[in-house]
Amino acid sequence: MISGSFLARCILLKCILCLFVEIVVEGGWTKAEEKQWIEYRVDPRYDVPWLDLQQGQDIPQLGMGTYASNGSQLVESVEFAIHLGYRMFETSSNYENGADLVKGISQTGIHFRHAFITSSIHPNQMDYETTAENLQNMLRQLGRKYINLCLLDGFGSIGDEGKSNSDMDVYQSASRRQQMWKALEDSKDLGVCLSIGVINYELAHLKELMAYARHIPAANEIEFHPYFIRNDLLAFCRTHHIVVIAYGSISPKGLLFELYMNNYILIYVYIYGIVVIPKSNDRQHIADNAHIFDFTMHYNDISKISQLNQNKRFFFDYSKFPALDPNSISTNREDL
């Protein structure tokens, strides 16, 4: 149970954040206020921590999701976020918003190489060719020759009943995951993906992948929030230098977190050394999220949030997809 004093500190934090960024009641900024804020954010790398990513890249610990966002709304949100120090943006081959994302970045005047683009790849057919086609489609949307981080969804489409898009057995499913991963590895070798990773891989899936992979995944994007702390998976990723990216960190589906709680929850996730990618088109929320690094949490507050852990998911349970025993996979790393 979170105490009244803890909630009071959350409310105080919310007030401080709003005052600090001088957000007006209507949610908009005057040109003078926006210019003052832009000038304050001189070096984004100083404000937003960056984590070491495999293959010599760094990744910002705060990014911005773009799911279900497009058009002028996305362009304006991206432009505003960059002024606040954001440099990482997540998109997907399914979002069809790459052109709007690029437009928002270009309108700020920063060089594109200073923006970190993460793209998730969702091949419906779950094979090498379709994965490669998804990558090419994403490059066309972005108008780029490379993507900083490509993340593979190796499980196909999930229907209403939580079933995959085919009734594959364990061996066939593992074989297709291997084909898709090989497409990402080849794209990395060609410089199309500077780093490659996975989405929703449980511990068993990571062990399976690492039994045949030429390139160890640089990142794993998973559901992570105070109600679902993944200690075993986090420990494995840290041991193998796999950066964890969290989705569903604030206001998970089915929860009614008050707005002032979101900042504390993001700070809590940040303390774990995890990349957070909250999605918002609201200027106030975007600005609030950018300031989680300006504040610290008392140990007692961290402990209280930790007590919320119920190992409870609010999104699909990907552990339902079985994985092969890595000891049963040939060490020559040919097709399964």
Give the residue-averaged pLDDT of 27-54. 55
Domain count, the chain: 1
Q: What are phi and psi of 87, to 5 degrees?
A: -135, -10
CA distances from 167 to 23, 47, 122, 159 (A): 52, 47, 18, 12
Q: Which of 1-5, 83-87, 148-152 has the highest mean pLDDT?
A: 148-152
Which two tokens mark 233? 């998976």
Any residues with CB less than 8 A from the CB of 78 and at least 6 apart, and which?
64, 66, 89, 100, 101, 104, 105
pTM given for the model: 0.80
Domain-embedded: residue 32: yes
Question: What is the phi/psi pair of residue 295, to 5°?
Answer: -130, 160
Cα distance between residue 274 and residue 271, in whole Å = 7
Indicate the pLDDT class of residue 297, thresholds 50, 70 and 90: low
Q: How far apart are CA 223 and CA 217, in angstroms?
A: 17
Distance CA 137, CA 131 (A): 10
Least reliable range by pLDDT among 34-48, 75-89, 296-310: 34-48
Q: What is the per-residue pLDDT for 334? A: 57
d(CA 336, CA 329): 7
Q: Does any domain span residue 217?
A: yes
Domain that holds residue 230: 4-310
pLDDT value for 261: 58
Ranges assigned E (strand) in 243-293: 243-247, 275-276
pLDDT at 312 over 60: yes
Task: Look up the CATH number of the domain holding residue 177.
Answer: 3.20.20.100
- Report the pLDDT value the prediction gives residue 36, as an integer from 0 to 100: 43
Asked if the structure places residue 142 within a domain, the reply is yes
Q: What is the structure's pLDDT at 264?
A: 64
CB 142 within 8 A of CB 121: no
Backbone angles phi, psi at 123, to 5 degrees: -75, 115
Domain contains 289: yes
In this structure, how many other beta carbons lie within 10 angstroms of the beta carbon of residue 318?
20
Residue-wise over 16-26: b if at least 16 C-beta within 10 A, else e? ebbeebebeee
What is the rounded average pLDDT for all residues in the chain? 78
In tens, the pLDDT along 233-259 reads 999 999 999 999 998 876 554 443 443
3-class secondary structure, 329: coil
Asked if residue 73 belongs to a domain, the reply is yes
Question: For residue 332, is it within any domain?
Answer: no
Question: What is the three-state SS of 186-202?
Answer: HHHHCCCEEEEEEECCC
Within a domain: 61: yes
CA distance 328 to 301: 45
Inside any domain, residue 157: yes
Q: Which of 233, 300, 305, 231 has the alpha carbon at shortest distance from 266?
A: 305
Find the helix packing angle between 261-271 and 299-306, rounded to 10°.
Answer: 90
Burial of 258 (0-12, 13-18, 19+ CB in 10 A): exposed
